[in-house]
Each structure stands twice: as C-alpha cells, then as structure tokens.
Structure 1
Amino acid sequence: MQSSLPRFARTAALLLVAMLLCLQPAQAALVKIGVFSPEGFAAGMQRWQPSADYLAQQLPAHRFQVLPYQDLGELEQDARRGKFDFVLTHPASFVQLEQQAGLLRLLTRRHRDGAQQHAHAAVVIFTRADNRRIQGLADFARTPFVATRGQDYSSWQLVRLELQRLGQDPDHAFSGVTFAGHSEAVLDAVMRGDYPAGAMAARDFDRFLRQGRISPQAVRILEASETADFPFRFSGRLYPQWPLGVLPDTPAELRQAVQQSLLALPEGHAALQAGDYAGWQPADNYQAVRPILSKSLSRHVVERQLSVANLWLEQHRQTLLITLAFTLLAWLLVRLFGPAAQTRPRL
C-alpha cells in the first residue's frame, strides 16, 4: 500500500499532461474568414479560396479557411458568436456587425472597370424613357418597384440609402417591392412595363448598354450623376465598396500581417482574377452607410447583451479547460503529497 500512492500519482499526472497536450493548438493556427456569397457556397469558394491560399503562402504559420454564406442572417449570427477571425461582407451588413459584434474595419476592396480602378459602389434606379410620370425618387407615390435581391448592396440596399438621404421612408415609398433575382430579370420587367421602375448595380446597367441589350434613348436614369472617380453613370451618390472586417479578439499581430499581405497583393495575381477585384486599400469611411441600420438594431444589441455570458464561455472554452486541468492536477498533488498525506497512518 505504501508504494501504490506514488504510482497512482505518476499515472494521474501523466494522464493530465496528455490531456493538456491534446488541448494545445496545432502548429499551423487555423484562421477563419466568413464571407457573404449570395451566389452560393461553391461560387464563394471558387472566388475567395485563392485569396486565402495567397495569405497562407505569405503567413505559413497559419492556415486560412474560407467559410462562404449565402444566407446573410446566418453569417451575421455566426459573426456575433465570434466564430470567425475576419469577415468579408457588404457595407450595409458591416455597419450592423460593427454595432452588434464590435467588428473593426481593416481594408476596402478595389474594383477595376476598364482602365480605371476605384473603391466605389453605386446603383442605377431607372424607368422607361416614355414614362413621363416618374421624374425622380419623390414621384413613386406608392407604385410597385423591382430590384435584384433584398440582400444586394448595389441594388436594393443602396435604393434604401438614397430614399433615406432624400428624407423618405423606404418601407412606405412603394406599394410593393419584388426581388427578381438578377439584373437581367429586372431589366426585362421594367422594359416590358410590368413595373414603372427598377434598380440594379451601376456596372450591370452599363454592361447592358454596351452589349446593346438596351439603348440609351429607351431608358432614363433617375437622379442621374456622374463623376471622374467612377466610370459609370449612377443614381444619387457613390458609396464605399465591400470592407474586410476583423473581430476584436483576433490578435493584433495577425491583423497587421493580413493587412500588409493583402495590400502587397501583386497586380495580375491569380487571386485577383478569381475574385474579380483589383486589390485592397486602407479601410474607407462607412459613415454614409450607417442610416441603413435596421429598426431592429436595438433588439439585436439587447439579445447580444443577454447572451454575452454564453458567448464568452464559447470563445474561451479551451482556456477554461486548461485552467480546470491545472487546478485538478494541483489539487491531486496536494492530496497525495501535502501535509495531510504525510500524517496519514501507514499500514
């Protein structure tokens, strides 16, 4: 019996050490990037995995995993739960997560259209040229309207921003809003006369003009604008392009390394071609997008505050397990070799 206690202690200590080693992270730390991909999972992987592969080459101590989400609400929920290190989503979603999850601006995506690079997004709100009743955004008078998708930043989301900028309530500006799914369907619906007006991304509208799908004389852009900073005509004003955000718990060293690597992405790199973008620039100012915050924001904030304890436990589960293991090991050693053990009668 005298020799059984040390043998038991050694066995227990070895088991606890083995458990601690299993809890240690792998040599190549996993970095998760949540991506909003309205075209679906496969399209999101095809578009953004090359950019993740580039980061892995630049930062070999890390593995970068792209997680595409077609459902924007699901992406935002997982971001609030801290399931990512970085998030790539459209600005309207970003300003929500900035408030709800503490998301921080890191970079803004750049586009190339022809010979021009820019970091802007814009919408075209248009009607048929023979529709004389609608001359501007104040003339809808609860008429029906058609756009691509409710989650499309460069379509319906920018329409909402333009209406709010003019002092109108987007939820009551039309008798109904139909989401046709893609720009071609929006164009056909307006040109057939099914809807008096519709909206799509400015670059899509310009593409239809260049392809001859419509003639400039057949359509009229409402609140038309143009500027040397943007290659297309558009409605209202320009807005910033998609940001890459970083969760507040992501280590500062990793943030800086990712930012520097993406800013140094070589022109013509395969990642740029796969992602259909021209590169990155320091984060833009997204103040112009803040009015799009939904009326339910306060409810989301309250929900986040109510669940903060659960989220904290989920994010720090590994640290808690390691601490518990060390506490158990210390308790076991004290029980076996402490003063009480020394005074225990021996048989």
Structure 2
Amino acid sequence: MMDKISRFQYKITCFLIGISLAFLWQLTACSKQQTEITPAMTPRKTTPDQVSVTPVRVGILAIDSAVSVNERYSSLLNYLSEVIDRPFELVPLTQESQFTEVAQSNLDFTLNNPLAAVQIRRLYNTKFLTTQSLPQTGSEFGGLIIVKSDSNLQKLEDLKGKKGACINFQTAAAGCVFQIYHLLQNGIDPFTDFSSFVENESQDNIVLGVLNGTIDVGFIRTGQLEKMVAKGLIKSVDQLRVLDPVGDKFLYKHTTRLYPEWPFAALPDTDPQLIVAVKEALLNIPVNHPALVAAKLEGFVPAADYSSLDELIKSLKLKSWDTQ
C-alpha cells in the first residue's frame, strides 16, 4: 500500500514540477517578447539628412579695414548662402592672420591677394577654385611705383637715397612685392638703396604720404588711385606720376608686369561636395548681380595659372620659398 502511495506521490510531484517549468518558460518568453518590443529598446530610424546650420567660414583679406571688406563682400556671401542653403560667415583677415587661420584650420575657404594665396597653397595645400575678374581689367592686375607729379624723380635710378613705403615686405602683392621684384630686376635694392623703406598697412596712407612729402615714393596696386578719387580722398590721379610705366593696352598705368587676380581657394579638409557647390555658384553668378556690384567685380573665372608667382617667391626667397 505504501509503495502505491509513494508511486502516486512521485507522479504528482513530477506533474507539478512539469507544470511549474512550463509556466516559468512561458513567463520568460513573454518577458523576452516584451523586452524586444519596448520602445526604449527599438533601434532609431535614420532620419533624412538635415541642411547643416554650421556657418561656412570664408576668410577674406582686408586691404583697408574690416569695415570695408564687409561692405564689399557681405553680399557675395549672402548670395552663396542663398544658392547653397547654408549660412556663410565672413572672417576679415590681416596680412598675418591669413596664414595662422589656415594653419589652425579655422576656415573653409579663403579669398586673398595672389601672392599670399600662392604662399598659403605652397604651405598648406589649399586648392584654387576660381579667379576674380574685374570690370574693364579682367583677371589681371599689376603694381605701380608712384611719386608726386612735380617730383624731380624721373627714372628708377633716381630712387636711390629716397624714402619709400609699401604694405608688407612678404605678402603684399601689388602693394609691395611686385615692385620689389621689378626694382631688383633693374639693379636696385630698395632695402639697401633707399634711405628708408618701411611698411604701412594702408595704401590710402601711402598715397597721401607721397602727396604730403613724408615719403618720396610709394608702392600701390592698379586701380588704387582711381578708387581714392571716387572716394574723394584725392582730387585727381594726375597729382601722382607712375615711374617706368609699361607700354601696353591695360586700362591703368602700371610699373610691373601683370599677374593673375585674387583666387578663391578651399582648405584641404573642406567638404568636397561643398567645394563643388561653391565653385559652381561663383562661376554661375548672374552678370550684374548686386553681390558683384558691391564687390566691384565682373564675375569669377576658372582658376588662372599662378606659376609666375611661384617663380617670384623662389627668386625673392619669401615666406614659402623652400616649400616643396
């Protein structure tokens, strides 16, 4: 009898254990299923790419002042913002900061004088996208060596022993270095042959210095005198005289050979798609667009050949002369 009871209890126990195990398995499965469909654990769906709100930083060399560079180029950056649907920020650059800002990768694009631009390209591997084209003068410009119209200085040789000024000995293109190169090619070294040769950050001040006699000779770019007449800073371009003028058909008198105008360049780590978009926008900006009028430009053309500036840099051993 006891064996029967024992066998019966054994069967009941096994049955209950089986039911318990089945119940526990079902709870585990439900818990697992609930865990898998919990919203917090559901993988996020990929949303469509949003247009970036990070400003595209464009560094532009300020020839006169930060105010004037903003007046001239803000409309151009607004145009790029509208076409590309991204905010563009203008960063005024000085002769020195145009190098440091690129070195520190603080910019996406640059627009500066070709001498500095070529040196920056040699040092930091920027890429030229377009070249500025100006009304009537196109995509070339040059440098002037000016004296007062009634000065007895008639030829380059007469400059020996005189006081001169320019913008920057290393990076100012038609505001200094083009003329230094021209003088050296003619056997005159302004650093040793002038009685004094100094830097002055304003071409306006250099012209006024020649007129008031604080200096004998000044270096400026083509179009500078005409700009000062338009601004009422001088009465007439005839108040100054250009030494050793080139006999060509270029609109303005100039002393040096002509070089390609300012390039618009991209930094090496700038988004390639953005580079393509900016280049296309610049090349296709409508004629007489308000942005071009404000910038005093005719438009942009494909990047010119700047090898003549590489040669000048090597010859004068400027900042980047030994860069491979």
Asked whether the two chains share a fold, i.e. TM above 0.5, the reply is yes
Q: Does 1:27 align with 2:17?
A: no
Asked if the contact 2:313/2:321 (under 8 Å) is kept, the reply is: no
Q: CA deviation at 1:194?
A: 3.7
Q: 1:103 to 1:200 in 2, by over 3 A?
A: same
Asked if the contact 1:123/1:155 (under 8 Å) is kept, the reply is: yes
How many pairs were matched up? Answer: 279
Asked if the contact 2:61/2:112 (under 8 Å) is kept, the reply is: yes
Structure 2, unpaired ranges of 5+ = 1-27
Q: CA deviation at 1:271?
A: 1.1
Q: CA deviation at 1:219?
A: 4.8
AA in 2 matched with 1:225: V
Which residue of structure 1 aligns with residue 235 of structure 2?
A: 213
Which residue of structure 2 aligns with residue 345 of structure 1?
A: none
SS in 2 for 1:172: helix
Quick one: distance in 1 between partners of 2:276 and 2:253?
A: 36
Q: 1:246 to 1:222 in 2, by over 3 A?
A: same
Q: 1:224 to 1:192 in 2, by over 3 A?
A: same
Which residue of structure 1 aligns with residue 223 of structure 2?
A: 203
Residue from 122, 131, 151 that aligns with 2:142 = 122
Asked if the contact 2:64/2:203 (under 8 Å) is kept, the reply is: no
Q: Which has the higher strand share?
A: 1
Q: Deviations over 1:127-174 (max 9, x none)?
A: 2455445512x4433432133566643322322232344465453342
Q: Does 1:77 align with 2:77?
A: no
Which residue of structure 2 aligns with residue 63 of structure 1?
A: 87
Q: 1:245 to 1:168 in 2, by over 3 A?
A: farther
Asked if the contact 2:58/2:110 (under 8 Å) is kept, the reply is: yes
Residue from 148, 162, 168 that aligns with 2:182 = 162
Q: Deviations over 1:266-321 (max 9, x none)?
A: 1121211222222101111122223246544379x69xxxxxxxxxxxxxxxxxxx
Q: Which moved more, 1:147-156 or 1:118-127?
A: 147-156
Q: 1:183 to 1:283 in 2, by over 3 A?
A: same
SS in 2 for 1:232: coil
Which residue of structure 1 aligns with residue 166 of structure 2?
A: 147
SS in 1 for 2:146: strand
Quick one: distance in 2 between partners of 1:41 and 1:127?
A: 28
Asked if the contact 2:147/2:153 (under 8 Å) is kept, the reply is: no
Asked if the contact 1:90/1:153 (under 8 Å) is kept, the reply is: yes
Which residue of structure 2 aligns with residue 102 of structure 1?
A: 125
Q: 1:45 to 1:198 in 2, by over 3 A?
A: closer
Q: CA deviation at 1:98?
A: 1.0
Quick one: distance in 1 between partners of 2:65 and 2:228?
A: 24
- Please give the TM-score of this superposition, normalised by the length of structure 1: 0.68
- Please give the TM-score of this superposition, normalised by the length of structure 2: 0.72
Quick one: distance in 1 between partners of 2:300 and 2:309?
A: 19
SS in 1 for 2:64: coil
Which residue of structure 2 aligns with residue 93 of structure 1?
A: 116
Q: Does 1:46 align with 2:71?
A: yes
